[in-house]
Chains A and B, each alone.
Chain A
Amino acid sequence: MFSLHPSWTHLLTPEIALLCFSIIFLVIAGLKGDKNLRKGSLYLSLLCLLFTLFFVIQLFVSLPDKEHISVISTSAGNASLLIDKYSLLFKMLVILGGFFSLLVSQKELDEENAWTGEYFALILFSILGMMVMASGADLLTLWVGLETMALSIYVLAAYLRRKESSVEGALKYFILGALSSGMYLYGVSFIYGATSSIHLKVLRAQLGMMITRGGIENIPFPLAFGLVLLVVSLLFKIAIVPFHFWTPDAYEGATTPVTAFMSVAPKAAGFAMLGRIFFVGLIPLYDILIPLLMLTALLTMVWGNIAAMLQSNAKRMLAYSSIAHAGYMLSGVIAALKAKTDEGITAVLFYLFVYIFMNVGAFSVIIALKGNGEEGDRMEDFTGLFKRKPYLAIFMTFFLLSLGGIPPFAGFLGKFFIFMSLVHSELYLLAAVLAITSVISIYYYYRIVCNMFLKEGVEKPQIREGFLLKSALIIMTVVNLFLILFTNRIFSIMEKGSIF
């Protein structure tokens, strides 16, 4: 029997609130308002995200552990929307990613003279889509969330629509993203044809039944074909090698705060969706999933790091490094698949949390360097930064060392937990490759550090940051430095995000 959970309004408060907030920004965008209104809407949007975060945290505290509450049950009795601590944690990560990307966007919007209401509305809409992705429990809900997120981000990637590189990157992103969405739908149609359901629970039951009856060979061809397409399109969305081609161009072309947003929030949402589909739907297939995913994770870690070494543009380099980081996180997912425990998921959640602070931090330094008609994302722009702006250079060093995984910075902890989960589930090859590629990654992060401290730069005009960017830089540096003191507390929060 079709039913809504009795307290569905309470369970969906964050989504409803965010929807109302984004409508406000849409109206602001439509108005012919003066610039001050639009500048003020930045503060308003930060406030809105804080409110939403507050609602999510409130729900998180009030919810019992390890319980998956089904908000909407279909007539066949399947859950189509789940609220649990897993989804709430991912929602928090997504909102945090959006919050910090908005925090650093003031200067960029000033430089490009691109203050519009749409910017905020689209970011809030995409966060709403990501929240749907985090809690959807059937393939259709997940897809609608994914599409809402993706469509907003295509537009954001083309935000500077008079700039050729921005439009080019967005177009590539759009075409490849549409292709992967199409693959997802095509795969789902085959899955539906073979199981006559799009609910992950039903899919799991049917797969389990088929495998106990006659092993992997018993899975009918259409279902297998659909599953392959589904998995490929998921890997596409989180930019795993060999499905990563869109990443560097889209990241380079987009305006830098949007790049920062694209590199953290959709990744978190993508992993939420991937985890939900794998651990609720496809878990009976772990026998074949693990080797396949291991291959892609190995390729991703190796190629992401090698390609990052060859880049001369800092944003492209960070794009490839984000591919490599996605590989590390995917290894955490594989560990969870192998051991069938939450340890890998906890490690991924922790990694994503840390990743927000280090990656947005690195991008915000690039934003700070922009000015006087220069993008500030070439390697040469960093030369002699220590002489010009000592604290900026020191902050950047912290972020880069954190990304490289050097103790005692936060990034080390993320890698450490993933490494431990890999060792506990006896995936020694992945663990070894993770360790080795992290060492390789230090080389290219160090190149920027070297440029900043050791080389003499040419005389360049003064760098201005603005209040919001400065405070964002300070927050992120503090988190990167002192997270190690609160490891236990944060880890125990992340441990609650259990999917099993």
Chain B
Amino acid sequence: MIVFVVLVSVLIVFFSIMVVSLKHPISSAVSLLIAFLLLAIFYLLYGAEFVAAVQVLIYAGGIMVLYLMGVMFTDSEWIKITRQTHLQAWLALFLVLVFFGYFGHKLYHSQYPAPAVKRTEISIAKKSETEKKLPYLQRETNPRSVSVALFKDYIYPFEIASVLLTVAVVGGVFLAKKEV
């Protein structure tokens, strides 16, 4: 398990660096796509199946389309004449490494008290014998627990999210559409 986690993490970091360092926008978009898909695998490894599905559906499916659109809107000729690096890049790299080192060190040595997560794991383990007899769709799987949280505890944010999506439709159509 840990081997997979490390492998996938390294690949995610590699492709994320590719996104910002490749010259052609389409190539960096494809690297981004691969990074998104790897991230979905990463979520799967930690048992967050629903989040993994959302990652594939929205990021790899939807957001990527928008990215490619954005690339196609821009004139790709300017890439040849614009310099891709800046003198500040070295300073930025230095600062990033310093911050990364500091935060990585701190996060590595700090403890994550996450009682709630552990508790559910235990309860799932206890239940598993009776659970196994149930048909698959009635077992306490990750999407089912997500949905109970979403549709019961977080009912209000869920309903407001529909307002948010409506505003997004209005904004997108209104700003991009010619005046009627």
Contact, chains A and B (beta carbon distance below 8 A): yes
Interface residues as binary, A121-147 with B (CB distance below 8 Å gives 1, 0 otherwise): 110010011001000100011011101
Chain B contacts for A140, CB-based, 8 A: 154, 157
Q: B171 and A155: CB pair below 8 A?
A: yes
Name the interface residues of A192-239: CB closer than 8 Å to any CB of B: 193-197, 220-222, 225
Closest to B112 in A: A193
**Does B20 sit at the interface, judged by CB under 8 A?**
no
Chain B contacts for A193, CB-based, 8 A: 112, 114
Name the interface residues of B157-180: CB closer than 8 Å to any CB of A: 157, 160-161, 163-164, 166-168, 170-171, 174-175, 180
Q: How far is the CA of A80 from the CA of B152 in the complex (A)?
A: 11
Closest to A140 in B: B157
Q: B107 and A222: CB pair below 8 A?
A: yes
**Does B69 sit at the interface, judged by CB under 8 A?**
no
The one of A26, A151, A152, A196 that contacts B117, using a Cβ cutoff of 8 Å: A196
For chain A, the count of residues having a C-beta within 8 Å of the partner chain is: 43
**Does B138 sit at the interface, judged by CB under 8 A?**
no
**Does B135 sit at the interface, judged by CB under 8 A?**
no
Name the interface residues of B25-69: CB closer than 8 Å to any CB of A: none
**Does A29 sit at the interface, judged by CB under 8 A?**
yes
**Does A108 sit at the interface, judged by CB under 8 A?**
no
Known: A80-B156, A154-B171. A26 touches B166 (CB 8 A): yes
CB distance from A357 to the nearest CB of B (A): 28
CB distance from A118 to the nearest CB of B (A): 5
**Does A72 sit at the interface, judged by CB under 8 A?**
yes
The one of B110, B157, B174, B175 that contacts A221, using a Cβ cutoff of 8 Å: B110
For chain B, the count of residues having a C-beta within 8 Å of the partner chain is: 30
**Does A2 sit at the interface, judged by CB under 8 A?**
yes
Q: A148 and B167: CB pair below 8 A?
A: yes
**Does B75 sit at the interface, judged by CB under 8 A?**
no
Chain A contacts for B112, CB-based, 8 A: 193-194, 220, 222
- Give the most central of B107, B111, B153: most A CB within 10 Å: B153
The one of A128, A154, A194 that contacts B113, using a Cβ cutoff of 8 Å: A194
**Does A81 sit at the interface, judged by CB under 8 A?**
yes
- Give the most central of B107, B110, B152, B163: most A CB within 10 Å: B163
The one of A29, A118, A145 that contacts B160, using a Cβ cutoff of 8 Å: A145
The one of A19, A32, A161 that contacts B175, using a Cβ cutoff of 8 Å: A161
The one of B110, B152, B163, B174 that contacts A2, using a Cβ cutoff of 8 Å: B152
Q: How far is the CA of A29 from the CA of B114 in the complex (A)?
A: 48
Name the interface residues of B64-84: CB closer than 8 Å to any CB of A: none
Q: B160 and A155: CB pair below 8 A?
A: no
Known: A32-B180, A220-B110. A155 touches B170 (CB 8 A): yes
Known: A118-B170, A122-B167, A221-B106. A196 touches B160 (CB 8 A): no
Q: How far is the CA of A2 from the CA of B149 in the complex (A)?
A: 10
Q: How far is the CA of A204 from the CA of B76 in the complex (A)?
A: 52
Q: A72 and B156: CB pair below 8 A?
A: yes
Chain A contacts for B10, CB-based, 8 A: none
Q: How far is the CA of A141 from the CA of B164 in the complex (A)?
A: 12
Chain B contacts for A143, CB-based, 8 A: 157
Q: How far is the CA of A229 from the CA of B156 in the complex (A)?
A: 25
Closest to B115 in A: A196
Task: Name A's B-contacting residues (CB within 8 A).
Answer: 2, 19, 26, 29, 32, 71-72, 74-76, 80-81, 116, 118, 121-122, 125, 128-129, 132, 136, 140-141, 143-145, 147-148, 151-152, 154-155, 158, 161, 193-197, 220-222, 225
The 5 residue pairs across chains A and B that have the minimum distance between CB atoms: A196-B116, A155-B171, A74-B153, A221-B110, A144-B157
Listed by A's residue number, 6 A-B pairs whose Cβ atoms lie within 8 Å are A72-B155, A72-B156, A128-B163, A144-B164, A221-B106, A225-B106
